[in-house]
Each structure stands twice: as structure tokens, then as C-alpha cells.
Amino acid sequence: MKPDASRNITFISHTDQGGRSDGVQVMVHRGYAYIGHTFSNGITVLDVRDPKHPKPVDFIACPKNTRAIHLQTHDDLLLVTNLPSVWSMQALSEKEYFASSPADLLRDRGAEFTAGIRIYDISKPDTPREISFLPIEGIGPHRLWYVGGRYAYASIHFDGFSDHILAVIDVADPTRPFVAGKWWIPGMWRAGGETPSWPAGRRYALHHALIAGNVAYAAWRDGGLTTLDVSEPTQPKLLAHRNLDPPFGGGTHSPLPLPDRNLLVLADEPNFANCSQGYRHIWLFDVREPKNPVSFATFPIPGEADYCAKGGNFGAHNLHENRPGAFQSSRLIFATYYNAGVRVFDIDDPFRPREVAYYVPPKPERMIDPRPNRPQVIQSADCYVDANGIMYLTDTNAGLNILQFDGA
């Protein structure tokens, strides 16, 4: 497939994932790719031991009106979120979903779905076997962080809260997971009588947190960034809260701590088309003192084409997470950029980040997205990079592109 644009990244192969070409988070583990779907309401398993010839080997369907967009793999475990499939149900508009808490609207409209966390045994990687389900009263989980050990960290919307908060999940016995701790920005616990200090129309909701040492770096959409002490995981404690909205517009989405350099990469997501609300940025923070994270630089904005005029969203979405067993670098940052594909940035000089590679796939051959009036353009969602620099790039409609990073 000929890309719309590329630099220092080579195409290897493409798959429509067994006819389900929509995808969000992807994990590659022991030669198999696990892909959570945006609209197809399930998980696809691909054999990618030969990346030139990826093969679908399994599809795990979710319950009715339920999707599994985010997942994590480690050792013999696959952890998966179950949450309402809001776009397939067409229960909410994008404006409703991103402008405030979606829980009340879903409840008022009688939406039926399953909420919780499922854990699978993947000792046989081509055939995940469910071993437990942690049900959640409320909208349920959005995203997870798990790299082994006793605890997983999730963003979960529990009943009684205005939106997603941090939940610590004990998986010491993965057949019996339970919620062991919680933390939220004060004002989110409605059942406890708290009231928000932020204006109406702003969505304070944990997208997800990544853990480095004893610190959780958490992205709260319009609520910005928190650093939390998780030395006692069941009792997180606030170290600092920073919000760049206003004036920079919110949407804080993806944290990536680089502990060997005392840096944090933080990406804000554009949840609007055609740059109609301006740009969203990728920020660099100095986190030598987690109680005082300081923003000091932004990444360059792709400029080889007019992406604001292309249609769809333009800006950062997910960051490759430097997971155990994957490609790990505190210098090279991989970011999906919606209609601008995937970008690679070099932060050798953190005060002057520079773009060193990109790959912009062609438009999707067909649309899976059921939302009306969607432009037929790519919306690159997630990128996993393996230890050999092979990149697995998902898209809302365009399937999985497998690519080779050729270096700077």
C-alpha cells in the first residue's frame, strides 16, 4: 500500500483484521497481536510471527452493546476493559460524550451494556481463555495499565462519581480480581456530596495513568495532569495537579514518563475535526521533583501537508508506552496523530524536540464507523513498537498497518 507520505518508515504489510478493520489499542505479545475494536465490539487476535503475512486466528465477541477498546498483556495474562459501545449504539453524539460526563445521558436513555474488567489466560496465545470478570456498577472502565505484579491501574466510572477516576485493581489472584484503592480529583464524588469547582461543559475524567517507580502520572482530559504517590498502591496520595486548560484547551490524554531522564511526555487529544478549536499539543515536563512538574517544551506540529483541511481530527492520540519486552527509548517518542498517521520525535535535546520519521497511510477502503457524515480519511489510533522496531499501527477504519522504523 502506497502511503500518502512517509519518512524513515517502511511498509511491511496490511490486514483488515478479518473484516473488522476498526481498531484502538494494540498489544503484541509472543508473536500475537491483540486488538481492541472501536465499533466491532470485541477483540481480534492476529498471528504476526511473520509480520509480512499477518493472520487472524480468533475473535472474542463482547456482550450486547459493549466494546473492548483497551487491553494489556503481560506474561500469561490479558486484561480487557468492557464498557458501553456508545458509537455503535448511537446513544451519544461526540459533543455529548466529550463535553461532560456521559453517565447521566446513558442512564436517561436506558442504554443496556456490560461494564467491567475481563482477564484471560493467554498461555496459549492464539486462544485466550477467560478466567475472571470484575463487574463494575456504573459506566465501567476505560483504560488500563498493567506490566506485572500485584496491581493493575484502571480508569473507571463508578456509580456515584461524575466520571472516570483512578482505581487500583488487585490481581494477585487473577481469577479473583477486586478494587483495592481509589483516587479522584475533589469534586467528582457526587454521592459524597462533592461539587465540582470547574465550569460546566468541561470533562474532568481520568483517561489513564502510567506508573514509574512510586509515582503515577495521570491524564484527566480537561482536568490536566496529576502526579500521585503510589508507594502504598491502595492509598494514592496527591503530589501535584497541573492544568493547561485554560488557555490550551484541555483533552489531556496520554502520559509517558521517562524516569531515567526525569522527563514526562504528555499528549493532549483533539476531539474535534478540522482544527476547529485550534491545536492540541504534546508537552514535555521536567519531573525531577514530582511535587512540582514543570512544562518547558512542546513537540513540533506536522507540516508537510495541510492536515487541518484534510478532514477528521488532527493531533496526538496515543503514545508508544515503552512496555517490558517492547522497543524502549527515552529519546525516540512514537505518537499516533489521527489524520497525520504516526510520527516519531527525537528529544535528545529536550528543549528542542524534532520530528525524525512519519508514515501517513492512505485513506480507508471502507468505513466501519457508524456515525453519520464521517470523512473517509485515516484516523490513526495506536502504535505498538516491538523490540526490533516493527510498528503495529491501528486505525478507526483502515485496518492494521505493520511498518518498519528505519531510524533517524
* pLDDT per position as a tens digit, 150-175: 999 999 999 999 999 999 999 999 99
Q: What is residue 349's predicted lDDT score, i.e. its pLDDT?
A: 98
Angle at 152 between CA 193 and CA 383, to 5 degrees: 110
Domain extent listing, the chain: 5-405
Out of 90-94, 157-161, 286-290, 325-329, least confident range: 90-94
Q: Mean pLDDT over residues 322-331, rounded? A: 97
Nearest C-alpha neighbor of 261 from the set 324, 306, 212, 218: 212
Q: What is residue 88's predicted lDDT score, i.e. its pLDDT?
A: 75
282-307: per-residue pLDDT in tens? Answer: 999 999 999 999 999 999 999 999 99
pLDDT band of residue 1 (cuts 50, 70, 90) is: confident
Q: What is residue 112's predicted lDDT score, i.e. its pLDDT?
A: 85
Distance from the Cα of residue 119 to its chain's centroid: 18
Cα–Cα distance for residue pair 32/73, rounded to 1 Å: 11
Residue 110 reports pLDDT greater than 70: no
Residue 111 reports pLDDT greater than 80: no
Q: Is 113 left (phi over 0), alpha (psi -120 to 50) or beta?
A: beta
pLDDT band of residue 354 (cuts 50, 70, 90) is: very high
Cα–Cα distance for residue pair 154/291, rounded to 1 Å: 22
Does 2.40.50.100 match the CATH number of domain 5-405? Answer: no
- The contacts of residue 161 (CB under 8 Å, 6+ apart) are 138, 184, 188, 189, 190, 191
Q: Mean pLDDT over residues 130-149, rounded? A: 96
Q: What is residue 190's predicted lDDT score, i.e. its pLDDT?
A: 95
The x, y and z cell numbers of residue 61, run together, are 465477541
Q: Mean pLDDT over residues 256-271, rounded? A: 98
| Beta carbons of 361 and 1 less than 8 angstroms apart | yes
37, 236, 310, 315, 353 from 217: Cα distances, Å? 26, 11, 33, 21, 21
Residue 222 reports pLDDT greater than 80: yes
Cα–Cα distance for residue pair 215/219, rounded to 1 Å: 13
Residue 50 reports pLDDT greater than 80: yes
Residue 231 reports pLDDT greater than 60: yes
Q: What is residue 99's predicted lDDT score, i.e. its pLDDT?
A: 66
pLDDT band of residue 407 (cuts 50, 70, 90) is: confident
Question: pTM of the prediction?
Answer: 0.96
